[in-house]
Amino acid sequence: MNAAPNQPVIAWGVIALALVAAWTAFRAWQWYRRWSARKSLLQAISETGTDLISDVLVPDGMGAYYHIDFLLLTPRCVLVIDLRDVPGNVFGGDQMTEWTVMDPPERSTFANPQNALYDRVAAVKAIAGDIPVEGRVVFTQRARFPKGLPKWTVMIDSLRTEFPAVERMALAGNAPPGFSDAWARIKSAVTPSPLNQ
């Protein structure tokens, strides 16, 4: 007879435990999705070159620093990557001050990333010396460019096409003259960025 009043308390306890377990499982699933997406993204970028540095500060030569998302050593250049992960239709051009993102019902703008990319490439070039340094603004697959891609802007999947694996295989253990020394200078000049993702 005394057990009956405890049944509602036990039932509420079981319900509370089930809710906590469901919430924990949901949060773990969210974390796994973010981790998996980031891992795939890093793999797609790292497959572009033979060595990778991410989330670093590069000195600008005047006492300040530029944050760089990724630096890659490729068979033909050191590649500076400015990574953008924005969902929706992106409207941007070489001469535009701001680019617009339309993801209904939201609309937002951001500064044209090309100017900052040129500055970052110049800072890396000052350290690298005579080897080629290029830059790309890389967008993830969540973005779409209905009016076409501006100069030096690529989708993440296009990196593999632009910097094919055949070239990477040729470079493995056989870097063009000066590339290894320049890459070593770059690695020693950069510092970890507080803006790391």
For 94-151, how does the pLDDT look when each residue is reduced to its tens digit (9 = 90+)? Answer: 999 999 999 989 899 999 999 999 999 999 999 999 899 999 999 998 999 999 999 9
Average pLDDT over residues 6-12: 79
The whole-angstrom separation of Cα 86 and Cα 70 is 17
CA angle in degrees (0–180, nearest 5) for 73-76-78: 35
Judge contact between 100 and 112, C-beta under 8 A.
no
pLDDT over 80 at 168, yes or no: no
Measured distance CA(82)–CA(96) in Å, rounded: 18
Give me the pLDDT at residue 167, please: 58
Question: pLDDT: is 41 or 20 the higher one?
Answer: 20
With beta carbons less than 8 A apart as the criterion, state whether 168 and 113 touch. no
Q: Which domains does the chain have, with CATH numbers?
A: 47-192 (3.40.1350)
Q: Quick one: pLDDT at residue 61?
A: 82
Confidence grade of residue 1 (pLDDT, cut at 50, 70, 90):
very low
pLDDT at 186: 95
pLDDT given for residue 139 in this prediction: 94
More confident residue, 121 or 31: 121
How far lies 12's CA from each of 5, 15, 25, 67, 153, in Å? 12, 5, 20, 51, 56
Enumerate the β-bridge partners of residue 192: 56
Provide the CB-side half-sphere exposure for 60 (13 A, CA): 12
pLDDT at 35 over 90: no
What integer pLDDT is reported at residue 31 of this predicted model? 79
User: Given this model, what pLDDT does residue 74 score?
Assistant: 86
Question: What per-residue confidence (pLDDT) applies to 36?
Answer: 72
**Could you tell me the pLDDT band of residue 196, with boundaries at 50, 70 and 90?**
low
Q: How far is CA 65 from CA 116, 126, 135, 164, 185, in A?
A: 12, 13, 17, 31, 16
Task: Write the pLDDT tens digit of every residue in 63-94.
Answer: 899 999 999 998 889 999 999 999 999 999 99
Kindly indicate the confidence band of residue 157, based on its pLDDT and cuts at 50, 70 and 90.
confident
